[in-house]
């Protein structure tokens, strides 16, 4: 595997809209050199599929996660299924594990009834997707990918983002919805282009983005990192929690925040209570983290499971049906 500047990779991945000049200032490097490094990373596919982190709860949405077992045998069958799933305007995210579960999809819907209808529709259109587990996402904590950093001083630039939870539904103007739609479809679009496509002047478009960020509707802009290409192991740890107290849960959350290999945590309702995504260059680190959790929180963890993650095929934080209804 070729050597990459992981500090550059981190800064670009954690802020997909960052300017080359900003990265250069943070790293004390020349812009031409950084431009070359980033071009290599993009050419190699390390940085791909940027996405805007919206907080879906402000739109009055619920997030359901469906883990499918089986459903396809060949790569061609899988690709056909993924293409079909992409057409559903309620599906926001599609990814694959290497064992136990295969494809997993996330739905954002206004209520459980609509989710149930869409899931049944998929089972009808794709009969092989008939064996699954469902969970309701309560809240997600998205952590910066600090495990990439060679310079720990850069950790202070980006912080944990919380998506979901108990929020009051916000109201949005037609101009705001138009900007949100375009950022959903093209998170790295320049302000001049964004303004042109939304029929706004640049100053107004910039102001809307800033206000949406201040209101915590927009939580950030990120790039996917192709963990397979980079040689990073990605696992999802499932935990069943019991005998919890407010104090011990706070200590568990602090452990997750301080462990640099943990990149996301979902609190859910379903067979499990918590999903923890771990990314690391050292496969044994995942086991070490699990051992630490079991030792430090042995009275909380009733049972656990670990599954290796393979790849994202789609990731977004808002469903397209929101904008189709605006027509």
- 34 within a domain of the structure (yes/no): no
CB-CB contact of 82 with 96 (8 Å): no
> pLDDT tens digits, the chain, 327 residues: what are they?
457 899 999 999 999 999 999 999 999 989 888 998 899 998 899 999 999 999 999 999 999 999 999 888 889 999 999 999 999 999 999 999 998 899 999 999 999 999 999 999 999 999 999 999 999 999 999 999 999 998 989 999 999 999 999 999 999 999 999 999 999 999 999 999 999 999 999 999 999 999 999 999 999 999 999 999 999 999 999 999 999 999 999 999 999 999 999 999 999 999 999 999 999 999 999 999 999 999 999 999 999 999 999 999 999 999 999 997 543
- 307 contacts: CB under 8 Å, gap ≥ 6: 97, 98, 99, 100, 101, 235, 236, 238
Q: Domain range for residue 289?
A: 50-170+215-327
Task: Please report how many Cα atoms fall inside a 13 Å half-sphere around the Cα of residue 89, on the Cβ side.
Answer: 9
- 202 within a domain of the structure (yes/no): no
Element spanning 286, H or E: helix 283-296
**Residue pLDDT, tens place only, 198-227:** 999 999 999 999 999 999 999 999 999 999
- 152 within a domain of the structure (yes/no): yes
The single-letter DSSP state of residue 247 is H
Number of domains in the chain: 1
d(C-alpha 194, C-alpha 182), whole Å:
7
Task: Please report how many Cα atoms fall inside a 13 Å half-sphere around the Cα of residue 165, on the Cβ side.
Answer: 11
- 231 within a domain of the structure (yes/no): yes
- 31 within a domain of the structure (yes/no): no
Alpha helices by DSSP H, listed for 164-245, are 174-185, 191-197, 202-214, 227-230
d(C-alpha 280, C-alpha 6), whole Å:
13
- 292 within a domain of the structure (yes/no): yes
- 147 within a domain of the structure (yes/no): yes
pTM of the model: 0.94
CB-CB contact of 157 with 27 (8 Å): no
CATH number at residue 159: 3.30.70.3460
- 33 within a domain of the structure (yes/no): no
Average pLDDT value over all residues in the chain: 95
d(C-alpha 155, C-alpha 259), whole Å:
12
């Amino acid at each position: 595997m070729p050597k990459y500047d992981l500090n550059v990779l981190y800064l670009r991945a954690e802020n997909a809209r960052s300017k080359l000049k900003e990265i250069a200032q943070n790293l004390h490097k020349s812009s031409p050199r950084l431009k070359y490094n980033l071009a290599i990373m993009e050419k190699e596919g390390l940085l791909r599929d940027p996405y805007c982190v919206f907080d879906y709860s402000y739109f009055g949405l619920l997030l359901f996660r469906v883990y499918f077992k089986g459903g396809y045998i060949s790569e061609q069958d899988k690709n056909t299924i993924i293409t079909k799933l992409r057409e559903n305007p309620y599906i926001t995210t599609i990814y694959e594990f290497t064992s136990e579960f295969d494809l997993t999809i996330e739905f954002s819907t206004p209520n459980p009834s609509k989710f149930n209808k869409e899931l049944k529709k998929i089972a009808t259109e794709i009969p092989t997707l008939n064996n699954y587990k469902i969970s309701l996402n309560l809240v997600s904590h998205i952590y910066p990918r600090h495990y990439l950093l060679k310079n720990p001083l850069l950790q202070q630039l980006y912080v944990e983002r919380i998506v979901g939870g108990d929020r009051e539904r916000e109201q949005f103007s037609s101009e705001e919805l138009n900007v949100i739609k375009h950022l959903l479809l093209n998170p790295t679009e320049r302000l001049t282009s964004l303004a042109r496509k939304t029929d706004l002047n640049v100053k107004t478009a910039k102001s809307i983005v800033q206000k949406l960020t201040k209101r915590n509707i927009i939580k950030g802009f990120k790039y996917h990192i192709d963990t397979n290409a980079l040689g990073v192991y990605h696992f999802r740890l499932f935990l069943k929690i019991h005998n919890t107290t407010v104090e011990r849960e706070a200590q568990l959350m602090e452990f997750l925040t301080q462990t640099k290999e943990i990149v996301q945590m979902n609190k859910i309702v379903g067979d499990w209570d918590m999903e923890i995504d771990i990314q690391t260059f050292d496969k044994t680190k995942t086991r070490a983290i699990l051992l630490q959790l079991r030792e430090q929180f042995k009275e909380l963890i009733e049972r656990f499971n670990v599954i290796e993650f393979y790849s994202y095929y789609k990731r977004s934080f808002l469903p397209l049906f929101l904008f189709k209804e605006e027509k």
